[in-house]
């Protein structure tokens, strides 16, 4: 909730323990695109790894990937009614999509931004995120474990709420 405490109205949403994982542009190319940065595992491999991790927390995951900004915005809007929280890797949209930023800010469930590579150790433009300020936090540079860290974060939040 953008650095704020979750309010009691949202508590009922957390009982569902459904986490939406959104992957933005070009993440469907994992395993093929710049394996030196992103590794040789595919998006399907990532999803399977996360399903295995989530089963230990009794969490349900829903996966969505789009290369189109509007599709991501539409899915964020929908998430408010069918998910307890969102983990998003906006890809390149991280750095310039004020529309996705506004969609995140407009929903009343927590959103966590993740990145596979360390965006702060890459090209200068990648160190600026327009979406992170409206997210609960940002995790980057841990490979697929960035997503796993997000799952752990929400598992603890869902249990403690």
Q: Which two tokens stand for residue 144?
A: 């697929």
Chain centroid to Cα 27, Å, comes to 12
Asked whether 135 and 112 are in contact (CB, 8 A), the reply is yes
Asked whether 103 and 73 are in contact (CB, 8 A), the reply is yes
Catalytic site residues? 38, 115
Q: Which two tokens stand for residue 58?
A: 């009794």
**Residue 23, beta-bridge partner list:** 65, 89
Asked whether 95 and 126 are in contact (CB, 8 A), the reply is yes
Give CA–CA dist 46/16, Å, rounded.
22
Place of tokens 């506004």: 102
């Amino acid at each position: 909730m953008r650095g704020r405490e979750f309010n009691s109205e949202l508590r009922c949403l957390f009982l569902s323990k459904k986490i939406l994982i959104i992957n933005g542009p070009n993440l469907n190319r994992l395993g093929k695109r710049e394996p030196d940065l992103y590794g040789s595992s595919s998006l399907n491999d990532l999803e399977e790894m996360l399903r295995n991790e989530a089963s230990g927390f009794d969490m349900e995951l829903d996966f969505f990937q789009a290369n189109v900004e509007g599709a991501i915005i539409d899915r964020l809007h929908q998430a408010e009614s069918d998910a307890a929280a969102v983990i998003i890797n906006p890809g390149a949209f991280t750095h310039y999509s004020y529309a996705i930023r506004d969609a995140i800010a407009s929903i009343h469930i927590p959103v966590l931004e993740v990145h596979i590579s360390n965006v702060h150790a890459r090209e200068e433009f990648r160190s600026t995120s327009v979406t992170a300020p409206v997210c609960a936090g940002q995790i980057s540079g841990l490979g697929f474990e960035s997503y796993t860290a997000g799952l752990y974060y929400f598992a603890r939040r869902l249990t403690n709420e």
